[in-house]
Structure 1
Amino acid sequence: MAERPILSVEGLSTGYGAVTALNGVSMSVSRGGICAVLGANGAGKTTLLRTLSGLKRADSGRVLLDGTDITRLPAERHVRHGLVHVPEGGGVIVELSVVENLRLGGLWRSGRRARLQRTDEVLELFPPLRERADRPAATLSGGERQMLALGRALMARPRVLLLDEPSLGLAPLVTRQIMQMLLKLRAEQELTVVLVEQNARSALSITDHGFVLNQGEVVMADSSSRLLADDRMRHAYLGF
C-alpha cells in the first residue's frame, strides 16, 4: 500500500476580487520530499504558498496535512500542525538580534529549556549566525538574513516547510549553500520542502518532483529530471 502524501492539495482555487489567482490546483508531496513549484512571474506561485499556509483564504478546494484538513484554519494553527512558511524576502525583524529573531519562531512551544535547546540546534546548523548571535539582524548580509529566516522557521520544528524565492537577490555561491542546506535538512530531519524558485534550473537540481504553474493552473507535473530534460516545456514556461 502506497504511503499517504504528507501534503495534498485538492482543487484549490482563490482570487483577489474578480481576478482568479489559482484555478483548481491539485498536487501532492511525499513525506521527506523536496518539491519545486515553478512558473513565470504572475503564475500564482506565491499565492499558492500563502493559501497553503493560511495567509490567504481559499475560495474552494482543500489542503490536507498528513490527512488532516487544515484549509479553513488560521495561519497560526497551520504552524502548530507542522506547516511553516518562509515568505519571499524572509521577513526578519532587523531591529532584533539574531537570537531574538530565532526565539520568535519558537514562541508557541512551551518550556524555556526546550526553546533554548532548539535555538542552540539551529545555530549549530548555521555557523555564521552563531558568530553573530547577539548582533542586530540589520548587520547581516543578504545570505545571512536568508539563513536567519530559515532558522527561525526551523525553530517551530516543521514537518513541511514552504519556501518562497530563497535565492532572490543572492550571489550564486550563497544560493548553492542554501540549496545544499535544504538537502541536509531533508536527510537529517526528514523535512519536507515545497520550494518556489525563479531560478528553475537551480530548483530542479535539488528537488525530486516539480509542478509548473501558468495563469493559476498546473500545466505540468513530473519528476525534476524529466522537467529538466523537456526542452519544449522549459522554453515555454521556464525561460531557459
Structure 2
Amino acid sequence: MAERPMLSVEGLTACYGAVTALNGVSMSVPRGGICAVLGANGAGKTTLLRTLSGLKRAESGRVLLDGADITRLPAERHVRHGLAHVPEGGGVIAELTVEENLRLGGLWRAGRRDRARSAAEVLELFPPLRERVSRPAATLSGGERQMLALGRALMARPRVLLLDEPSLGLAPLVTRQIMRMLLDLRAERELTVVLVEQNARSALSVSDHGLVLNQGEVAMAEDAGRLLADDRMRHAYLGF
C-alpha cells in the first residue's frame, strides 16, 4: 500500500477580485520530499504558498496535511498542524534581536524547556546566528537574515516547510549553503519542503519533483531530473 502524501493539494483555486490567480492546481509531496514550484513572475507561485499556509482564502479545492483537511483553518492553526511558511524576503523583525525573533517562532510551543531546546537546535544548525544571538536582526547580512527566517520557522518543528524565494538577493555561495541545508533537514528530520524559486536550476538540483505554473495553472508536473533535461520546457517556462 502506497504511503499517504505528507501534503496533498486538490483542485486549488484562489482569486484576487475578478482575477483568478490559481486555477484548479493539484499536487502532492511525499514525506521528506522536496518539490520545486517554478514559473515566470505572476504565474501564481507566491499565491500558492499563501493559500497553502492559510494567509489567502481558497475559493475551492482542498489542502490536506498528512491526510487532515486544513483548507479552511486560520493561519495559526496551520502552524499547529505542522506547516511553516517563510515568505519572500524572510519577514524577520529588524528591531528585535536574533534570540527574540527565534522566540516568536516558538511561541505556541507549550513549555519553556521545549522552546529552549528548539532554539539550541536552530543555533546548532546555523552557527553564524549563535555568534550574533543578542544583536538586532537589522545588523545581519542578507544571508544571515535568511538563516534567521528559516530558523524562526524551524522553531515550531514543522513537518512541512514552505519557502518563497530563499535565494533572492543572495550571493551564489550563500544560495548553495541554503540549498545544502534543505537537503540536510530532509535527511535529519524527514522534513517535507515546497520550494518556490526563480533560480530554477538551483531549485531543481535539490528537488525530487518539479511543478511548473503558468498563469495560475499547472503547465507540467514532473521528476526534477526530467524537467532539467527537457529543453523545450526549460526554454518555454524556466528561462535557461
Unaligned runs of 5+ in 1: none
Question: What is the match of residue 52 of structure 1?
Answer: 52
Question: What is the match of residue 196 of structure 1?
Answer: 196
Question: What is the match of residue 87 of structure 2?
Answer: 87
Structure 2 counterpart of 1:111, one-letter code:
G
Q: Distance in 1 between matches of 2:68 and 2:201?
A: 33
Structure 1 counterpart of 2:93, one-letter code:
I
Q: Distance in 2 between matches of 1:8 and 1:46?
A: 17
Question: What is the match of residue 121 of structure 1?
Answer: 121
TM-score of the superposed pair, with normalisation by structure 1: 1.00
Q: Distance in 1 between matches of 2:219 and 2:210?
A: 11
Question: What is the match of residue 169 of structure 1?
Answer: 169
Structure 1 counterpart of 2:53, one-letter code:
S
Tell me which stretches of 4 or more aligned residues in structure 1 moved more than 4 Å.
none
The 5-angstrom pairing of residues 68-79 of structure 1 reads 68-79=68-79
1:117 Cα deviation after fit: 1.2
1:81 Cα deviation after fit: 0.1
> Identity of paired residues, percent?
87
Q: Distance in 1 between matches of 2:239 and 2:114?
A: 46
Tell me the secondary structure at the aligned position of residue 212 of structure 1: strand
Q: Distance in 2 between matches of 1:88 and 1:117?
A: 27
Deviations 1:173-199 (A, max 9, x none): 000000000000000111000000000
Q: Distance in 2 between matches of 1:113 and 1:4?
A: 33
1:39 Cα deviation after fit: 0.2
Tell me the secondary structure at the aligned position of residue 152 of structure 1: helix
Question: What is the match of residue 10 of structure 2?
Answer: 10
**Given the alignment of the two structures, is residue 152 of structure 1 paired with residue 117 of structure 2, yes or no?**
no
Q: Distance in 2 between matches of 1:190 and 1:235?
A: 33
Q: Distance in 1 between matches of 2:238 and 2:121?
A: 37
Q: Distance in 2 between matches of 1:11 and 1:118?
A: 35
TM-score of the superposed pair, with normalisation by structure 2: 1.00
Question: What is the match of residue 223 of structure 1?
Answer: 223
Q: Distance in 1 between matches of 2:37 and 2:30?
A: 14
Deviations 1:188-229 (A, max 9, x none): 111000000000000000000000000000010110000000
Tell me the secondary structure at the aligned position of residue 144 of structure 1: helix
Question: What is the match of residue 206 of structure 1?
Answer: 206
Tell me the secondary structure at the aligned position of residue 2 of structure 1: coil
Q: CA RMSD in A?
A: 0.4
1:59 Cα deviation after fit: 0.2
Structure 1 counterpart of 2:99, one-letter code:
V
1:23 Cα deviation after fit: 0.2
Structure 1 counterpart of 2:223, one-letter code:
S
Q: Distance in 2 between matches of 1:168 and 1:133?
A: 23
Question: What is the match of residue 64 of structure 1?
Answer: 64
